Each structure stands twice: as structure tokens, then as C-alpha cells.
A and B are shown apart, each in its own frame.
Chain A
Amino acid sequence: MKTLEIPTFECETGNYHTFRPISCVAWLYQKIEDSFFLVVGTKTCGYFLQNALGVMIFAEPRYAMAESEEGDISAQLNDQKELERICLRVKSDRNPSVIVWIGTCTTEIIKMDLEGIAPKLEKQLGIPIVVARANGLDHAFTQGEDTVLAAMTHRCPEYNRRTADQHEGDVARHVADDVAPNRKFSDGKDRSSGGNLVLFGSLPSSVASQLNLESRRQSISVSGWLPSQKYTDLPALGEGVYVCGVNPFLSRTATTPMRRRKCQLVGAPFPIGPDGTRAWIEKICLVFNVKPDGLEERENQMWKNLSDYLEMITGKSVFLMGDNLLEISLARFLIRCGMVVYEIGIPYMDRRYQAAELLFLQHTCEKMKKPMPRIVEKPDNYSQVQRMHELQPDLAITGMAHANPLEARDIDTKWSVEFTFAQIHGSVNARDALELVTRPLRRRSDSILGCRNLSRQAVDV
């Protein structure tokens, strides 16, 4: 048997394509129903949102740009007055429960004191203003959500253990009745003293309830989500609350409740794929001192359901160029599905927050007798394309800037962005995730008139 390989990390130039972190408004405004997102930036940000979000922009979205003009940059205009004018209009037009200011590169460079202005305007307007710095200087794509959720952590109400226990007991009783009517509630009595569980990460509500159900099956009730469906329903945080992430890009959000709210972090692999979901719930059970029940059968059943897809991808190779930080979990899931992963590109690798996931990746490689892929932080897209030419992977998971050119060079691609928007969490959605992965492979038909390569450039090279 192979010895356990230690993951090696490389770091390249950071010349890679990804979405701007402000794109998080697209899914967050939909998730938090009573919010309004105001992106304080320039035309460049606006142009990005308008084009990246496609038809959403026509649906009267609850987000807008506060577009800085020359006068703002040269400080001829007063930031506070300008923002006040704009927020008053937002208030009168939409009446949101919270306005989230998204700071951008511009506000960073001109050092606009959003954090300082917000409390003043908040008082004046009577609407909470949350400030998140989701700028391209520090962050990539999904990390935008991380900045917003970390900022929202401060707005969560204080967890009061005694009253909450009472309340939680009530909830747990209902839950127990729902899930396992035969089982007596007394089973859970000793556990309720363990504290309560808040999950963080924005997921569509149906996926969130699926994950709730996963933990209820183990008689652990989820007491709240960050973010909640409404800003006014943010979960209580405080000593005795366990928090656990559902997405790999939430490292700031993970540290904030620990350091600022005295919560305890459950470091687990992420619930992506049946293997990930099981490992995730097992870790939570371990923390809550619950003996997991029926997880193995459940996982096996899930894999059985996926057999048609697995047949299609077993032995195929994949190259992840990296742009949304889901890459480690996705690679681990695909290796467990029998694929060979050549390279995991990733914008940023938090080895502490992802420690459990990394270890799980290592074990998965060992179990499946697959080589440990190289992990490339801040990848260089140009070099990656060169490597891909040599490796000729069966599938490249990549951004839209490279997808068509790679297809023209006869490398099948899957747009990585889709993994951010599709429902891939929990065992139930593993099928959806594989549906995405296998799409380019299923579509594959015989080449037209023997044209394998349809690029114009390659002819000269």
C-alpha cells in the first residue's frame, strides 16, 4: 500500500481569472430577503455586475451601485453626505431591513471610511448598515460572501444560555417528533446540554433544510443559520454556541464568531458529495458526543444511486484551474468518484480552516489509490494552460474566459462558476454536482468532419 503523501502547496504569480468578490451580492440579495446591497465603487464594478449577472439585472434587483464620480475621488464631495442622500433614496424606494455597503477597490484606495460613516448614518436613518470590504485587492470571487457574513456576525443577537435552553428543548422536542416519532425525546436529553449549533454559509433554503434534516437524523438540531432568510432573524451567538461552516471559502466568518463571540468552531470537511456530507455530520456528532446512526448505509445507498454517473467518470482525469475556493472539496469528491485529479488551482488556501478537508483529501487519495494532486495557490493561468497542453486532461474545470478557447483546442471544459450557483451540498445534491461534471463528457459526440481542433491560433503554432 502506498504511504500517505503529504500535500504539497505551490504558489504561482496570481495571474488568474476569477470573478470580482462583489459578485456575492447576486446570491446574497436573493438569500437575505429584506436586504439591500449598495456597492460603493466605480463604473467598472457596475459594468461587471451588469454583465456577470445577466438577466437578473432586469428583475429590479435589490442591489445598486453608488457610483463614485470624479468629485468623490478628489474629495470635493463629502462622502457621508453623498452616501446619506443615496441611502435615503434607497430607504424610501425599497424600505429594506438592512443596507449592506460593499466596499470596493476604489473605497479602499481613496480610504473612504465606510466603517466610520456607517454607524452615524445608521442612527440617522434608523436602518442597520453593515459594511463589508469585498474588494479585488484582497479577495477573490466567493470570498466576497465571507466578508459580508463576517461583518454580519457582529449583528447577531447575544445568545443567552438559560432562556435558550428552554426554547431549544421545545424545538428539539418538535423536531424529534417529526423525524423519529417512535423514538422518545429522552434520548436527546443528555445531549441538549452540549450547546447548540449554528451553521454558516449562504445556501438556497431548500438545501439548507436538507442539511438541517441530515443533522436532525442524528438528533442534533440546527438552531440557526448565518445568513438567515431574513436579516431580522439572524441567529444568536455567544458562549456555548457551536458554529460550523458549510463552504470552504468562509475562513473569516469562521474566525469572527470564535474570537469576537466566544463560539466554538467545529472544524469539519464540507458537506459536498456523499462522502463529504457523511464526514461533516460525523464530525458534528463527535463534537456533540452523539453516536452517529446509519450513516454508512446512507452513504452507500447514495453512491449506489450515482452508479450511472460514476461509470462515466471513473478513470477520467480532471484539471481544476481554480477560481472559487470550492476546489479542494470538489477534487476530493471527484477522486472518491474514481477520477484522477492532476492539479487543484485555488485562489487562496486557508490551511487551518480547511485542515479537516485537506486531511480528508489525503485519506481519500490513499483509499482510492490515486496520487495526491498538486495544490497551486494563486495560480498563473498562462502556465496552467501550458501544463494542460502537456497533460491533456479529460476535463478542465475553469472560468468562462478559458472555456471556449480550451474547447476549441479539444479539451472538454466545465465552467467553474456553475458550481457556485448550483445546489451541490448534502448527499441529496451529489447527483446535481455530478450532473455538472459529466455534462461535457455526456455531450461528447464524434467530431464533425474530423475537426478535433477548431482553434485558429494553433494552426500557426
Chain B
Amino acid sequence: MKLAYWMYAGPAHIGTLRVASSFKNVHAIMHAPLGDDYFNVMRSMSERERDFTPVTASIVDRHVLARGSQEKVINNISRKDEEQHPDLIVLTPTCTSSILQEDLQNFVDRASLSSESDVIPADVNYHRVNELQAADRTLEQITRFHLDRARSRKTLDRSVTNGPSANIIGIFTLGFHNQHDCRELKRLPGESGVAVNQVMPEGGSLKCLKDLPRAWFNTVPYREVGLMTATFPEKDYGMPYISITPMGISNTADFIAQIGKLVNVWASALSEKRLNYKLYVDNQTKFVSQAAWFSKSIDCQNLAGKEAAIFGDATHAASITKILVKEMGIRVSCSGTYCKHDAERFDEQVRGLCDEVIVTEDHTEVGDTIARIGPSAIFGTQMERHIGKRIDIPCGVISSPVHIQNFPLGYRPFLGYEGTNQIADLIYNSFNLGMEDHSLDVFGGHDTKEVSTKSPPTDRKHINWIPEAELEPNRIPGFVRGRAKKNTEVFAKQNNISEITIDVMYAAKEKSSS
């Protein structure tokens, strides 16, 4: 047993449900006790989803505990089949069903006899995998199921599309800025002459899955979900995939270079004209993305050498680390992820870019580390935002888990060239707000009422401003003058200084800014 208050990645069934409900016309039935369908609330609230979430529960109650589910699960499957005619029903195990060790496969076998929908049990082990791993696994499972069947029915179209095309794998519901990223990702290869064959699972239709291998290649924008789905077509159908996350200028350039390489290999084989991607990247970097110019501008100069701490999922934490260090000259004191299963690769990606790497699922460890380092800004999840609040350090949210405010209505991709602009804003605003607060503090705070507040005369008796120092405060803005004076006096009193000189003033200022 483990004492826990907070978790970064949710339980396995959440991952399965996220993938299943992202596809069109797929229904998930959870084998779970009452109240476990909280996923529906999250999807409906956070994503502001306007349609009913296609997830229901086959309720495990006292009777099920005593006699087993018996016909209940099967009846629920058939009922859903009749009511909504989904293409696929995914029977989803939960912690409860995994402890009960009911034979879900048996239910599925029996239910598929009578139902028109396909029925599969999600093959995830509750205790071994988390939300992200389960999502990865479920996506692969659904894809493989359909491709294998198409192959056995000989309906699989193995011919590649005429023009270059790509599949985008791993965009799904409740993903951090996934909707916006998807739009940006469609544009990115689009502008360079590559059509998007299919996006999955979000909005994907199972009927089209058999055409998945017609694309020239697959792209997997996020490491956490989609890699499994991309690796098996590579093995089975010789479909290459790109697993670079196009986040930040250099990553995006690498991404496009990869596209160029893959397209041109085929282009020469199909005797099409070779496409020049270098020019495109150059143009985009210089003029569409403001990030390259931003990092040259004096705004960014001011950020040079500032310290930051980063924590999030492996994809976002690694990419943001790279952006901060290589593209903005910011010092990353600590970079970390909660994706323990991907620790090795994460370490490899950020090694040399930061002073310290942490891989943990314990938010107190993250909090302690950040407090010890005391960076000027944090980039993390909602938990880090609250850690930042507690210790007064600004935080930009860069990764799940997130709140509803991280599902913005406006266009906010993190990927591609527009993404670089958004990230630059996020980073600059986080640091800048921190500096603004800080300088306000140095100058005595927000409260303009304090101007007229004089220290009680008894205090002042023992403190003597030498005339030269008396004039000094006149040089700082009037609205903070009173506070600055007061701070100096407090400092003097604390240090048993009876005469305030200019030196003492600056010592006081230094003290309050440290």
C-alpha cells in the first residue's frame, strides 16, 4: 500500500476509454461498480463535449459479487448493439473486474455471436500499465484487429496513394491541446505537398481503417500514444514512421526533413518530381514562426541564463527543455517526467541540456526539488502550477494532467510553426510576469495606499536618515516610494543600524531581491 494524494497518470481504463470514445461510432462498456463512469463527466466538462460520451457501465454490484456477472455483461452488450448500432464495442476492464478475475474474453465471444457490432475486450492489465500505456495498447489493438480482419477477408488495399500521404496517429480526446495540434499537423505536411490519409483515433472511422496502409508513412506526434500502432505496420507492411515531435523550431525542421527524406525516396521510385523542403523550412522559420526572431530579439536576451524547472509527460517535458535551452538560451536546472516507463529515452533526450533529471510519480518529490532549486519559472502540469503558487514562482502549463482552462476555445497548438509562436508567448509571459512581480516587490509592492503610510514615530526615533540618503528615494517612482522607505527602515531595524546611508538603502534593496 502506498500513501498517495495525487497522481499524474490515471488508471488504465481511462486510457482505453479515451481511445475508444475518440473513434467515431465506437462504444465502450466498462465492467465496473456504480460511479466509475466518471470519465463521462471529464469528457463532457473538460472537452465541453456536446454529444453523449459513448461509454456505459455494466454495473458490478453485490449480486455480481456473489454470483458473477453471468448474463449481465452480455445483455448490456446486446442492448447497446440494438440501441446504437456501434461499429465496435470495447469491453473495458477496471480494477474491480481485474480483481474479480471474470473471464471477459468469454463474455465477448458469446456476445459477438448475437451482436452485429464487433466486440473486443481491451487487453490491458490494470496493475501493470497506466492511462497512457493503456491508450497506446488499445489503439494498437483496435487497429490490428481491423487490419488483420481486412487481410483475412482480402479487402486490404495495399496500394499506396498516388500523391504522397501520411497518417497522423495519436490525436485523441482529453489530450493536451490535441485538437489544435491536429489542425496544425494537417497543415504542416499539407503545405509541403503531403496529403493526410487518416487521423486516428480522433474522429477516425473504423470502416476506413483498412485503408490505413495506403499512406506513404505514419507520423506519431506524441511519444506516449501511437508508437505501438506505428511499429507493427512497419513490420507487417513496411510502412515507415516518423516519431519526431514537431515542437519547437529545430524539432519541426527535423520533422520536415524526415518527411522530405521519405517522400523523396518514393518520389524517385514513382518518377515524381522531388520536393525541396529546405526552402520551405527556411521560409517558415524566418517568417511564419516568430520564435526564431524572438530568440534573437532583446526580449529574449533578457531571459538568457535565467533558470527554469520543467516537469511533464515525456513528449512535452523533453521538447520544452530543448526549446528553452537551445532556442532561448535559458538554463534548465531540472527536467523531469512522470512517464517512468519511458525513462531511458527521456534521459537520453534531455541529457546534457539540464543540470538534473528527475523521473518520479510523486508530486512531493517534484515540489521539493523545485523548492530547493528556486527557479525563476516553472513549466509543468497543473500540479506544478500549484506548487509554483505556493512558493511564489510563475508556472506555464505544458502538459497533462490539466484543468478545463487548458482546453481553450481559441487556436493554441503546441506543434508546428504556429506552435512555436504559442510556446514563445507562454515562456516569455511566464518569466516576464515573474519579473514584474519581483520588481514590484523590490519597489515596494502594489499597494499605492502605502505611499502615505508613515512608520510610527516611535520607530523612527532610533533611525536617522542622513541627508544624502533622504534624497535618494526621490529617484524612484512616487507610488512605491513610501514602501521603499519603509522597507529600508525595517531592514535597518532588523540589523541594528541606526543611521541610514545610501549603502544601507542598497543593502536593503539587495536583501529584498535575493
Q: Which residues of A contact B (CB under 8 A)?
A: 14-15, 17-21, 40, 42-44, 46-48, 50-52, 54, 57-58, 61, 64-70, 72-73, 77, 82-83, 85-86, 89-90, 105-106, 108-110, 135-141, 382, 385, 399-405, 407-408, 454-457
Residues of B near A43 (CB, < 8 A) are 7, 10-11, 95
Q: Is B100 part of the binding interface, using a Cβ–Cβ cutoff of 8 Å?
A: yes
Is the Cβ of B62 less than 8 Å from the Cβ of A44? no
**CB-contact partner of B99 in A57, A58, A106, under 8 A:** A106
Is the Cβ of A401 less than 8 Å from the Cβ of B41? yes
Q: Is B355 part of the binding interface, using a Cβ–Cβ cutoff of 8 Å?
A: no
**CB-contact partner of A136 in B13, B33, B49, under 8 A:** B33
Is the Cβ of A47 less than 8 Å from the Cβ of B95? no
Q: A86-B1, A137-B61 are in contact. Are A52 and B51 (CB under 8 A)?
A: no
Residues of B near A20 (CB, < 8 A) are 34-36, 38
Residue of B nearest to A66 (CB): B1
Is the Cβ of A52 less than 8 Å from the Cβ of B36? no
Most buried by B among A15, A77, A83, A86: A15
Is the Cβ of A47 less than 8 Å from the Cβ of B14? yes
CA distance A106 to B98 in the complex (A): 10
- Per-position 1/0 for B344-370, Cβ under 8 A of A: 000000000000000000000000000
Q: A46-B7, A456-B50 are in contact. Are A400 and B45 (CB under 8 A)?
A: yes
Q: A20-B36, A73-B127, A140-B35 are in contact. Are A408 and B51 (CB under 8 A)?
A: yes
Residue of B nearest to A45 (CB): B95
Q: Is B3 part of the binding interface, using a Cβ–Cβ cutoff of 8 Å?
A: yes
CA distance A135 to B36 in the complex (A): 11
CA distance A50 to B94 in the complex (A): 18
- Per-position 1/0 for B11-32, Cβ under 8 A of A: 1011000000000000000001
Q: Is B269 part of the binding interface, using a Cβ–Cβ cutoff of 8 Å?
A: no
Residues of A near B38 (CB, < 8 A) are 19-20, 47-48, 51-52
Q: Is B40 part of the binding interface, using a Cβ–Cβ cutoff of 8 Å?
A: yes
Residue of B nearest to A386 (CB): B83
Is the Cβ of B35 less than 8 Å from the Cβ of A454? no
Residues of A near B61 (CB, < 8 A) are 14, 137-138
Residues of A near B51 (CB, < 8 A) are 405, 408, 455-457
Question: 29 A-B Cβ contacts within 8 A?
Answer: A14-B34, A14-B61, A15-B59, A17-B41, A21-B35, A43-B95, A46-B4, A46-B7, A47-B11, A47-B14, A48-B35, A48-B36, A51-B41, A66-B1, A66-B2, A67-B3, A73-B99, A83-B1, A110-B99, A136-B34, A137-B60, A137-B61, A141-B35, A382-B83, A399-B41, A401-B53, A405-B44, A455-B50, A457-B52
What is the minimal beta-carbon distance from A36 to any residue of chain B, in angstroms? 11
Most buried by B among A14, A82, A401: A401
Is the Cβ of A70 less than 8 Å from the Cβ of B127? yes
Most buried by A among B34, B49, B56: B34
CA distance A232 to B27 in the complex (A): 50
Q: Is B206 part of the binding interface, using a Cβ–Cβ cutoff of 8 Å?
A: no
Residue of A nearest to B75 (CB): A13
Residues of A near B53 (CB, < 8 A) are 401, 405
CA distance A69 to B62 in the complex (A): 23
Is the Cβ of A454 less than 8 Å from the Cβ of B127? no
Q: Is B140 part of the binding interface, using a Cβ–Cβ cutoff of 8 Å?
A: no
What is the minimal beta-carbon distance from A161 to any residue of chain B, in angstroms? 40
CA distance A14 to B60 in the complex (A): 10
Is the Cβ of A66 less than 8 Å from the Cβ of B56? no
**CB-contact partner of B34 in A18, A69, A106, under 8 A:** A18
Most buried by A among B5, B49, B51: B5
Residue of B nearest to A456 (CB): B51
CA distance A409 to B320 in the complex (A): 41
Residues of B near A77 (CB, < 8 A) are 1
CA distance A146 to B191 in the complex (A): 61
Is the Cβ of A89 less than 8 Å from the Cβ of B3? yes
Most buried by A among B76, B94, B99, B386: B99
Is the Cβ of A400 less than 8 Å from the Cβ of B34? no
Residues of A near B386 (CB, < 8 A) are 58
What is the minimal beta-carbon distance from A453 to any residue of chain B, in angstroms? 10
What is the minimal beta-carbon distance from A8 to any residue of chain B, in angstroms? 24
**CB-contact partner of B36 in A64, A136, A399, under 8 A:** A136
User: Of residues 45 to 73 in B, which have CB atoms within 8 Å of A's CB atoms?
Assistant: 45, 48-53, 56-57, 59-62, 65
Residues of B near A51 (CB, < 8 A) are 38, 41-42
Is the Cβ of A90 less than 8 Å from the Cβ of B3? yes
Residues of B near A405 (CB, < 8 A) are 44, 49-53
Most buried by A among B37, B48, B57, B383: B37
CA distance A385 to B84 in the complex (A): 13
Is the Cβ of A50 less than 8 Å from the Cβ of B44? no
Residues of A near B403 (CB, < 8 A) are 54
Q: Apart from A67-B3, A141-B35, what are 6 other A-B pairs with CB-CB below 8 Å?
A: A20-B35, A44-B95, A69-B1, A137-B62, A385-B52, A404-B50
CA distance A67 to B403 in the complex (A): 23
Residues of B near A66 (CB, < 8 A) are 1-4
Is the Cβ of A105 less than 8 Å from the Cβ of B33? yes
CA distance A339 to B128 in the complex (A): 52
CA distance A68 to B3 in the complex (A): 9
Q: A15-B57, A105-B96, A137-B65 are in contact. Are A50 and B7 (CB under 8 A)?
A: yes
What is the minimal beta-carbon distance from A137 to any residue of chain B, in angstroms? 5
Is the Cβ of B5 less than 8 Å from the Cβ of A64? yes
Residues of B near A86 (CB, < 8 A) are 1, 3
Q: Is B6 part of the binding interface, using a Cβ–Cβ cutoff of 8 Å?
A: yes
CA distance A399 to B43 in the complex (A): 13
Residues of B near A58 (CB, < 8 A) are 383, 386, 389
